[in-house]
Structure 1
Amino acid sequence: MTSKSELRAEMRGLRKRLAAADPLAGERLADHAGDLPQGAWVALYRAMGSEMDPQPLARALLATGRTLCLPVVIERDAAMVFRAWSPGEPLEMDEAGCPAPLPLAATVIPDLIVTPLLAFDGSGGRLGQGGGYYDRTFAALPEIARIGLAYAGQRVERLEIEAHDIRLHGVLTETGYTAFP
């Protein structure tokens, strides 16, 4: 049986190959923005490495009147907070080394959290980077819709879910949105 760390390494390589094979996959996300669950505030993320780029989705969401925010890691072992953000606004690195809005941006609670991932399965299982930031945040905000953003090729048959892993409500790929039961 493959360990989580081995699976993460394998899926990082796959995601990198998928990104290289289809550099415009993120552009097709905008076509499916209207399929996402409703909510005024949508938390996105700034892509790092080969993560699916949510920028085209951000533009589409703004065009439909939604407001955006980004996650911010303030403490490494705590849930993330979310700060209001619009494309083009300045960012700084947070405690986890991710681009985040400046402290003067309003802190908000999103209606929908869009998260990057390494792999997902058909029942909402999500394999993240391993830091636990999203799982801690999902546990602190259980009523908020949780949507993975990925390449369709990142879907796997089944992920081993541990007690602290929190399932997604759906996933958006370049081929469309899928809600999980």
Structure 2
Amino acid sequence: MSDKSEARSAARALRKRLAEADPLAASRAADHADDLPEGRAVALYRAMGSELDTDALGVVLEAAGRRLCLPVVLERDAPMIFRAWSPGEPLELDAAGCPAPLPLAEVVEPDLILTPLLAFDGFGGRLGQGGGYYDRTFAARPDVVRIGFAYAGQAVERLALEDHDVPLHGVLTEAGYRASLGISH
């Protein structure tokens, strides 16, 4: 087993414990929505497993006049696209098995993308699930603001980044928003 897969297993177990210990963390994170960087169109995600849920955040962002969209995987080795979405609208599974807006929804270019993660550091490092969907998408959209959405307890001192890893501009948690050191947006 590789170091990264061991790190992912440990981080998944920790995130599951954090989710069980603090079921209101997502609501408290939404209270800090005003601290997020500017962005007219914001890409959320539909939480799976113990990922921090974006429902409360989506309601706050939409009420603040931000347009929402969700990622859609059309091809496993290509960047994701984004389709317009509002809370309550129907979803279907995309090519990666994630809930996504229906094909008739308008394609949107987000200014800000919120991403789930397994672990993060203060330098923009993000440990994802390993599929590369977000890194491919970030690489294809270098000007988009990249924000992790996670439990504060998922923070680690430092992650080892590989060449294909695209750093985050910051992370929003139930404890507030923190910008990454050395990454400007």
Which 4+ stretches in 1 moved above 2 angstroms?
Answer: none
Alignment deviations for residues 20-58 of structure 1 (CA, whole Å, 9 cap, x no partner): 000010011121101001011000000000000011100
SS in 1 for 2:31: helix
Q: For this pair of structures, how many residues does the alignment match?
A: 180
Number of the residue aligned with 1:43: 43
Number of the residue aligned with 2:72: 72
Query: Is it true that 1:138 corresponds to 2:130 in the alignment?
Result: no
Gap runs ≥5 in structure 1: none
| In structure 1, C-alpha distance between the alignment counterparts of 2:157 and 2:99, rounded to whole Å | 32
Number of the residue aligned with 1:106: 106
Number of the residue aligned with 2:95: 95
Number of the residue aligned with 2:115: 115
Q: CA deviation at 1:141?
A: 0.2
| In structure 1, C-alpha distance between the alignment counterparts of 2:30 and 2:164, rounded to whole Å | 31
SS in 2 for 1:123: coil
SS in 2 for 1:113: strand
Number of the residue aligned with 2:172: 172
- CA RMSD in angstroms, aligned pairs only: 0.7
Q: CA deviation at 1:63?
A: 1.0
| In structure 2, C-alpha distance between the alignment counterparts of 1:108 and 1:56, rounded to whole Å | 21
Number of the residue aligned with 1:152: 152
Gap runs ≥5 in structure 2: none
Q: CA deviation at 1:107?
A: 0.3
SS in 2 for 1:108: coil
Number of the residue aligned with 2:52: 52
Number of the residue aligned with 1:23: 23
Number of the residue aligned with 2:85: 85
Q: TM-score, normalised by structure 2?
A: 0.96
SS in 2 for 1:171: strand
SS in 1 for 2:87: coil
Q: TM-score, normalised by structure 1?
A: 0.98
Q: CA deviation at 1:145?
A: 0.0
| Deviating more after overlay: 124-133 vs 2-11 | 2-11
Letter in structure 2 aligned against 1:161: L
Alignment deviations for residues 64-106 of structure 1 (CA, whole Å, 9 cap, x no partner): 1001000000000000000000000000000000000000000
User: Percent sequence identity over matched residues?
Assistant: 72
Q: CA deviation at 1:155?
A: 0.3
Letter in structure 1 aligned against 2:34: G
Letter in structure 2 aligned against 1:10: A
